[in-house]
Structure 1
Amino acid sequence: MEKFKNLNKSFINGEWTEGLSERRYDILNPFDNSIFSDISIATAGQLAETFEYAKEAQKEWAKTTPEERSEVILKAMEFLQNNKDEIVQIIAQETGGTLVKAGVELHLTLEILEEAATITNEIYQVREVPSAMEGKVNHIHRLPLGVISSISPFNFPMNLSMRTIAPAIALGNAVVHKPDIQVAFTGGNIIAAAFEYAGLPKGVLNVIQTDLTEIGDDMLTNPIPKLISFTGSTPVGRHIGEIAGRNLKRVALELGGNNPFIVLEDADIDRAVDAAIFGKFIHQGQICMCINRIIVHKDIYEEFLTKFVERAKALPYGNQLDPKTVVGPLVNERQLEKAVQFIEDAKQAGNVLALEGKRVGNVLTPTIFRDVKNTDAIAQTEMFSPIVSVIKAETDEDAIAIANDTEYGLSSAIFTTDIEKGERLGLQIDSGMTHINDQTVNDAPNVAFGGNKASGMGRFGNPWIVEEFTVTKWISLQTKYRQFPF
């Protein structure tokens, strides 16, 4: 932490800047509520200035060559690699994630930077398309979009921040980024330090450390940004979508999920259990892609459930900094109380526990409900915790129908020994992503990542992100005199 301890400010126009609010924010270690750091809070006035700085900086950054942008991105990647051990510790301490989770997050972040360095030549490419008019040449240009407003969540903050920041910068844009302040370092300030080290010109990336008390909807309503990139809950996403629509701004929204994990009649049960344990309990279930419902064919239901419960019961829990820990703390006490309430409400509604978890400090151990009906509240609510519903399906087709019976459509998974059948059924699930013989938590910088229905709009990943973060312009060249009818 020594190298980063003084970065408890905002990074505005190339300077580490004290927030002007009278309030400060204590960042807590989720395991024991000890103070990890504190941070100064920026004001609405500072945010407005930051957008102006970004607007001016973007004009010059847009003139740089692909080679210059790639060099900066790879240099930022070098910074993270050189400091990886300390960064993994900070991710774990700040987010409550285990050391395994922290390592995965840093690895994904580095992959995003590596991929972003390959797309810097996507702007200013000229494509010629034919014209029916004599002497007319049509050129289609791809240009930087401008300034992007970026908002990231608490759960995988470095990864989910970088997947907007890196491609935006690669494509000649500037960014004003607001991480969740409770993960200020991993969600923003370490990233800012990496690009500062890389020599990114001032104002191209700005990280504002603030909260809604100070700025309200100003990240959304400021007229300068052309696109709002947000990862978080569906209710907040709907609010952002309404404001963006009113102001004719683009959005990239990755929202909540009620992700089904389907175990078909012919599945390898032991392998399905292995995948379900990881896909449900990584980072205590605090990932939008985590398994929320396990849907199992009736003929193998009891065998699967027995083995799944036994594995979940044996998972080590406790301090996330212990290398043996699999289930660490939830990110804060409010999230913990919310999860405990989900359990109590489900019990009151008559849902049956196959494994009753316990609260140990800020840790909630795995909690499994059995014989859940898909219409039950527990099956229609995103848990975002180590709580899971196991549902019985009469047939494989019934399993697909149950999977689709939700407003969400982010990720999904199917276990079967028949790969072709798995892909055929996967296409019938109304979700942005389906994984055959794997679990629901998968990401890569070169795939189309995003959700359907209430799980979001737009796609991250190359090349889809290029379309999201650029603007297309048609220029026609009339090379011969054109006769007009009047």
Structure 2
Amino acid sequence: MNQFQNANKSFINGAWTEGETGKTIDTVNPFDRSVITTLSLASAKQLEDAFDIAAKSQKEWAKSSAEDRKAVLTKAKDYLQLNREDIILTISRETGGTIIKANIELDAAIAILTEAITYTGELGGIREVPSEIEGKINHIYRLPLGVISSISPFNFPLNLSMRTIAPAIALGNSVVHKPDVQTALSGGSIIATAFEYAGLPDGVLNVIFADIEEIKDGMLTHPIPRLISFTGSTAVGRHIGEIAGRGFKRMALELGGNNPFVVLSDADTDRAVDAAIFGKFIHQGQICMIINRIIVHQDLYEGFVRKFAERVKQLPYGDQTDPKTVIGPLVNERQLEKALDVIEQAKQDGIELIVEGKRVGNVLTPFVFAGADNDSKLAQTELFAPIAVVMKASTDQEAIDMANDTEYGLSSAVFTSDLEKGEQFALQIDSGMTHVNDQSVNDSPNIAFGGNKASGVGRFGNPWVVEEFTVTKWVSIQKQYRSYPF
């Protein structure tokens, strides 16, 4: 038995706590629907209690030294490294991700902790600013923001949860965190266990296992949290924006994507195909940064489609815990049915099917469509499945214009032999991130990670997340008597 299977209760005030609803829900392996563990679901009252506890604990944690915070983060990082094998197996079994994906995710979470250790000293420093008023000294302080409400998705649960939790703790905040219950162990239990091992004071991190039917908008509307961190759909992000706006809460939102992969007229086709295969099919396409539209200059189009299709047909599929597997199962039946509906609609719309995949149990093998119009439903849908769409552009500039023709703006990629031109075209794409001669799935804890347009608000990564998760305060000291005009 994996050590995390028994960590199936909420973690509140430093204790693994039985849910008061009396309800349970199974987390299952998406490949064969076998039960991994059974979660005890918390009540709305327990969520309220968690926010109260987090608020009290944060006041003390805010007084901690940079060295204290660094020590806790270092021990949490050590825990992930020491338990690597169990964590990778848990991520793979629970998310349906391959062993390759699970390794990438764990390494990303460790990197976030490593970077967070470097900015624990951002708190408490005093910056002096000159004053025009005689005898006045101006001090600028960076202080913790307070309590952060964190909500993470099913696809990269450990990484996308840690991306909020580690910076929050490093900067003297406390957290109430709700992972997707489909991946509760990867997105909640592993992290809570790591920080419990690290000696984080009780109540600084609270992990809630709950369903929306019970807690409704409690993670958003509760008056205590000062910031809502959410990764998920644009539709939910808009809902959060409305609520946060009314409550004057900050937001860090990473939302949907329709990420273009642009192959310019002078690109190396073979290298572009290599990148596109990985950037489209890692984790079965269930990543917000995944390549959604492949836009190829007409001079390279036929060769690209042929080579891409040949490679797709060779991708091994099946049980995601087999190290040889590249295409594992989609996370649940609903996602599988949505993907099949998209495929059927594309066929009805007459879009050319170059590679026809199939459903094998809960695995959907790759489909490749070619020649779709950029305004087609297929091209404008965030697919979140192993479905590739290749489109033709008559010029390099048209390819860039097509790339921008979407409501989303998360990630993107441009392939070219002219790196200077590639960077200039990259700047023309209206997305938060563009990668020249690489694919669109890139992340790092020391870059500005985030989207434009309907793809999000705010930026993760150091130093941008420091600004997001702290508050700046001006304290002036009048050292000599000041005369006033009345």
TM-score bucket of the superposed structures, by smaller chain: over 0.9
Q: Distance in 2 between matches of 1:322 and 1:482?
A: 75
Q: Distance in 2 between matches of 1:440 and 1:248?
A: 33
Task: Classify the secondary structure of the residue corresponding to 1:4.
Answer: helix
In structure 2, the residue matched to 1:414 is 414
Shift of 1:267: 0.3
Alignment of 1:82-481 (within 5 A): 82-481=82-481
In structure 1, the residue matched to 2:31 is 31
Task: Classify the secondary structure of the residue corresponding to 1:46.
Answer: helix
Task: Classify the secondary structure of the residue corresponding to 2:38.
Answer: strand
- Give the TM-score, by structure 2 length: 0.99
Q: Distance in 2 between matches of 1:398 and 1:140?
A: 48
Shift of 1:452: 0.2
Shift of 1:116: 0.5
Deviation string 1:4-55 (CA, Å, 9 cap, x unpaired) is 2221100000000011112200111000111111110001000000000000
Which residue identity does 1:62 align to in structure 2? A
Shift of 1:482: 1.4
Cα-Cα RMSD: 0.7
Q: Distance in 2 between matches of 1:59 and 1:365?
A: 51
Q: Distance in 1 between matches of 2:299 and 2:2?
A: 56
Shift of 1:481: 1.6
Which residue identity does 2:77 align to in structure 1? M
Shift of 1:162: 0.1
- Give the TM-score, by structure 1 length: 0.99
In structure 2, the residue matched to 1:47 is 47
Deviation string 1:430-486 (CA, Å, 9 cap, x unpaired) is 000000000000001000000000000000000000000000111111122212111
Count of residues in Structure 1 that have an aligned counterpart in Structure 2:
486
Q: Distance in 2 between matches of 1:277 and 1:458?
A: 29
Q: What percent of counterpart residues are identical? A: 68
Which residue identity does 2:55 align to in structure 1? K
Q: Distance in 1 between matches of 2:163 and 2:295?
A: 31
Deviation string 1:219-266 (CA, Å, 9 cap, x unpaired) is 000000000000000000000111000111000000010000000000
Q: Distance in 1 between matches of 2:451 and 2:415?
A: 21
Which segment is superposed worse, 143-152 or 133-142? 133-142
Q: Distance in 1 between matches of 2:161 and 2:344?
A: 34
Alignment of 1:58-77 (within 5 A): 58-77=58-77
Task: Classify the secondary structure of the residue corresponding to 1:315.
Answer: coil
Deviation string 1:116-143 (CA, Å, 9 cap, x unpaired) is 1111110111111122222221111100
Task: Classify the secondary structure of the residue corresponding to 1:117.
Answer: helix
Q: Distance in 2 between matches of 1:26 and 1:8?
A: 10
In structure 2, the residue matched to 1:5 is 5
Q: Distance in 2 between matches of 1:348 and 1:246?
A: 44
Q: Distance in 1 between matches of 2:126 and 2:345?
A: 58
Task: Classify the secondary structure of the residue corresponding to 1:22.
Answer: coil
Q: Distance in 2 between matches of 1:480 and 1:301?
A: 75
Task: Classify the secondary structure of the residue corresponding to 1:392.
Answer: strand
Q: Gaps spanning 5+ residues in structure 1: where? A: none
In structure 2, the residue matched to 1:485 is 485
Task: Classify the secondary structure of the residue corresponding to 1:30.
Answer: coil
Deviation string 1:172-217 (CA, Å, 9 cap, x unpaired) is 0000000000100000111000000000000000000011011000
Which residue identity does 1:15 align to in structure 2? A
Q: Distance in 2 between matches of 1:189 and 1:4?
A: 7
Task: Classify the secondary structure of the residue corresponding to 2:139.
Answer: strand
Q: Distance in 2 between matches of 1:271 and 1:380?
A: 26
Shift of 1:3: 2.0
Segments of 4+ in structure 1 off by > 4 A? none
Task: Classify the secondary structure of the residue corresponding to 2:450.
Answer: coil
Q: Distance in 1 between matches of 2:350 and 2:303?
A: 23
Deviation string 1:361-382 (CA, Å, 9 cap, x unpaired) is 1111111110011000111110
Conserved 8 A contact 2:99-2:323: yes
Shift of 1:171: 0.2
Conserved 8 A contact 2:5-2:185: no
Q: Distance in 2 between matches of 1:319 and 1:3?
A: 21
Q: Distance in 2 between matches of 1:305 and 1:220?
A: 45
Q: Distance in 1 between matches of 2:62 and 2:76?
A: 19
Q: Gaps spanning 5+ residues in structure 2: where? A: none
Conserved 8 A contact 2:6-2:37: no
Q: Distance in 2 between matches of 1:329 and 1:435?
A: 28
Q: Distance in 2 between matches of 1:154 and 1:214?
A: 19
Q: Distance in 1 between matches of 2:221 and 2:318?
A: 42
Deviation string 1:324-364 (CA, Å, 9 cap, x unpaired) is 10000000011000000010111112211111111111111
Conserved 8 A contact 2:2-2:90: no
Q: Distance in 2 between matches of 1:136 and 1:271?
A: 61
Which residue identity does 1:350 align to in structure 2? G
Which residue identity does 2:187 align to in structure 1? G
In structure 2, the residue matched to 1:80 is 80
Q: Distance in 2 between matches of 1:50 and 1:75?
A: 24
